[in-house]
């Protein structure tokens, strides 16, 4: 039976820990896995711009001995009206897995329903599972874990505070916190907070989940990780000016970083709008692990591809 990754909630805690452990192994000994997916082909469907998702998946597949085919929306027959169903069935006869990056959740769901090969959500309107899972791998590295200790780790000792928009990245991180039970705080303007039912359900599943519409200095005081993202995600560009005014108090700058623990690490999924949600001073500081995150996208996705295809 084929497996898909549409959101982090498709995985059990044990499956997540297995993937994190495998990521450590692959990053530490890449040559050991260099031909593990020889003969396998990954289709990459892009309906939104991409730098990290495209290059990390393609480079990762090549490093595992496989191949990747990039498909832009304008170059596919879907741009002329071909259905997702027909596309899924056709591609299933050519490739071993499909990764899609799109504006629509339903398109990902339908592609997974109609495909006979694994489908990976590389980003959709509501979810960004590969980003969240690879970010937690980066957290593991910062906590000094390895492929063995990840299984016995006390996740309640981790505290991540996300400052900014309630978007696909923060949603996947919230969902991931309900599985691993790490402490996760979301600080977002009231107007842009997730639906109250989603927040209540997450709080029910993870008492260590905290959300507020203000910058809570007291809550920041022992935060080990501060995470931010752009204030206007792709598709929200028309709101950019209004969002800049509303989110200006939520900028990750040196003043905010100094509220947190002395050993705090700053995270960003990129691309960053420097000078808006994060300052150059913080982005380029020794506390920033932003580019470690970016590299780890590839290592985690190699582990995911290995699990799905091997």
213-232 per-position pLDDT tens digit: 999 999 999 999 999 999 98
Asked whether residue 3 is assigned to any structural domain, the reply reads no
Q: What percent of the chain has pLDDT over 90?
A: 92
The string of pLDDT tens digits covering residues 162-172 is 999 999 999 99
Q: Verify that 146 and 192 share a domain, yes or no.
A: yes
Asked whether residue 196 is assigned to any structural domain, the reply reads yes
Q: What is the pLDDT of residue 235?
A: 64
Q: Verify that 231 and 166 share a domain, yes or no.
A: yes
Question: Within 10 Å of residue 290's Cβ, how many Cβ atoms?
Answer: 21
The model carries a pTM of 0.96
Q: Verify that 144 and 172 share a domain, yes or no.
A: yes
Rounded to whole angstroms, the Cα distance separating 15 from 192 reads 32
Q: Verify that 69 and 174 share a domain, yes or no.
A: no
- Region 105-118: what's the mean pLDDT? 98
Q: Verify that 115 and 142 share a domain, yes or no.
A: no
Q: What is the pLDDT of residue 234?
A: 63
Q: What is the mean pLDDT of the chain?
A: 96
What is the dihedral angle through the alpha carbons of 53, 118, 135, 171, rounded to the nearest 10 degrees? 100
Q: Is the pLDDT of residue 1 over 70?
A: no
Q: What is the pLDDT of residue 196?
A: 97
Q: What is the pLDDT of residue 76?
A: 87
Q: Which range marks the domain in which residue 288 is found?
A: 131-294
Asked whether residue 112 is assigned to any structural domain, the reply reads yes
Q: Verify that 124 and 212 share a domain, yes or no.
A: no
Rounded to whole angstroms, the Cα distance separating 119 from 89 reads 12
The tally of domains found in the chain comes to: 2
Q: Verify that 268 and 224 share a domain, yes or no.
A: yes
DSSP the chain: ----BSSGGGS-HHHHHHHHHHHHHHHH-GGGGTTTTTT-EEEEEESS--SHHHHHHHHHHHHTT-EEEEEEGGGSGGGGT--HHHHHHHHHTT-SEEEEE-S-HHHHHHHHHH-SS-EEEEE-SS--HHHHHHHHHHHHHHTT--TTGGGT--GGG-EEEEES---HHHHHHHHHHHHH--EEEEE--GGGSPPHHHHHHHHHH-TTEEEESS--HHHHTT-SEEEE--SS-TT-GGGHHHHHHHHGGG-B-HHHHTTS-TT-EEEE-S---BTTTB-HHHHTSTTB-HHHHHHHHHHHHHHHHHHHH-
Q: Verify that 123 and 142 share a domain, yes or no.
A: no
Asked whether residue 249 is assigned to any structural domain, the reply reads yes
Q: Verify that 66 and 188 share a domain, yes or no.
A: no
Q: Is the pLDDT of residue 145 over 80?
A: yes
Q: Verify that 185 and 278 share a domain, yes or no.
A: yes
Residue 100 sits in a domain whose CATH number is 3.40.50.1370
- Region 128-157: what's the mean pLDDT? 98
Q: Verify that 20 and 156 share a domain, yes or no.
A: no
Asked whether residue 287 is assigned to any structural domain, the reply reads yes
Asked whether residue 185 is assigned to any structural domain, the reply reads yes
Q: Is the pLDDT of residue 36 over 90?
A: yes
Asked whether residue 2 is assigned to any structural domain, the reply reads no
Out of 171-180, 197-206, 234-243, 267-276, pick the least confident. 234-243
Asked whether residue 1 is assigned to any structural domain, the reply reads no
Q: Verify that 15 and 62 share a domain, yes or no.
A: yes
């Amino acid at each position: 039976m084929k497996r898909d990754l549409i959101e982090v909630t498709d995985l059990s805690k044990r499956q997540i820990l297995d993937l994190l452990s495998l990521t450590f192994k692959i990053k530490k000994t890449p040559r050991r896995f260099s031909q593990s997916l020889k003969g396998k082909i990954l289709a990459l469907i892009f309906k939104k711009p991409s730098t990290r998702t495209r290059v990390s998946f393609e480079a990762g597949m090549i490093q595992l001995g496989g191949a990747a085919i990039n498909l832009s929306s304008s170059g596919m027959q879907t741009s002329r009206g071909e259905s997702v169903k027909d596309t899924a069935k056709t591609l299933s006869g050519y490739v071993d897995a499909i990764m899609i990056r799109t504006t629509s959740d339903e398109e990902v769901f339908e592609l997974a329903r109609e495909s006979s090969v694994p489908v990976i959500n590389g980003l959709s309107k509501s979810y960004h599972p590969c980003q969240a899972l690879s970010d937690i791998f980066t957290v593991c590295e910062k906590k000094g874990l390895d492929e063995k200790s990840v299984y016995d780790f006390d996740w309640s000792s981790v505290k991540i505070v996300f400052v900014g928009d309630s978007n696909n990245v923060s949603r996947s991180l919230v969902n991931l916190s309900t599985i691993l039970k790490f402490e996760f705080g979301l600080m977002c303007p009231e107007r842009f907070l997730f639906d109250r039912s989603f927040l209540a359900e997450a709080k029910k599943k993870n008492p260590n989940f905290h959300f507020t519409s203000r910058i809570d200095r007291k809550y920041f005081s022992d935060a080990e990780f501060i995470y931010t993202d752009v204030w206007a995600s792709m598709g929200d560009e028309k709101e950019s000016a209004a969002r800049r005014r509303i989110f200006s108090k939520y900028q990750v700058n040196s003043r905010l970083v100094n509220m947190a623990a002395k050993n705090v690490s700053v995270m960003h999924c990129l691309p960053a709008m420097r000078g808006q949600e994060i300052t150059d001073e913080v982005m380029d500081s020794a506390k920033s692990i932003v580019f470690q995150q970016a590299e780890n996208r590839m290592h985690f996705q190699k582990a995911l591809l290995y699990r799905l295809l091997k």
